[in-house]
Amino acid sequence: VFSVGISGDGRWSCAGTCGGKLYKFLTETGEPLWEYTTPGFAGAERQVGVFSDGYVVAGGRGGIYVFEP
C-alpha cells in the first residue's frame, strides 16, 4: 500500500497499491466497494484522498483521477 485516505466523517476509506490499483471501502465494515486499475499503471496510486460525500481523488506521475460516489 502506497497511500491511504479516510474521509473526514470516517465513512469512506481508500487505498492505492503497487501496479496502479485503487480501492474504495466502507470503513465501518471494511466492505470493498470498487477496485480500479489505472491504464498503463499510471502511478495514480501514489496519493489518494476521499471526501465525506464519497468522491475519491487520486494522483501521481501519470495524472489525476476523480471518481464519483
Domain locations in the chain? Answer: 3-64
Task: Output the pTM of the full model.
Answer: 0.83
Output the pLDDT for position 20: 81
Output the pLDDT for position 44: 64
* Cβ atoms 16, 62 nearer than 8 A: no
- Cell 494522483 belongs to 59
Output the pLDDT for position 46: 79
Reduced DSSP (H G I as helix, E B as strand, rest coil) percent helix, strand, coil of the chain, to 5:
10, 55, 40
pLDDT along the chain (69 residues), means of 10: 93 89 94 87 76 92 85
Output the pLDDT for position 2: 86
Picking from 17, 35, 39, the residue whose alpha carbon sits closest to that of residue 25 is 35
- Beta bridge mates, 5: 14
Output the pLDDT for position 5: 95
Distance in angstroms (rounded) separating the CA atoms of residues 57 and 66: 5
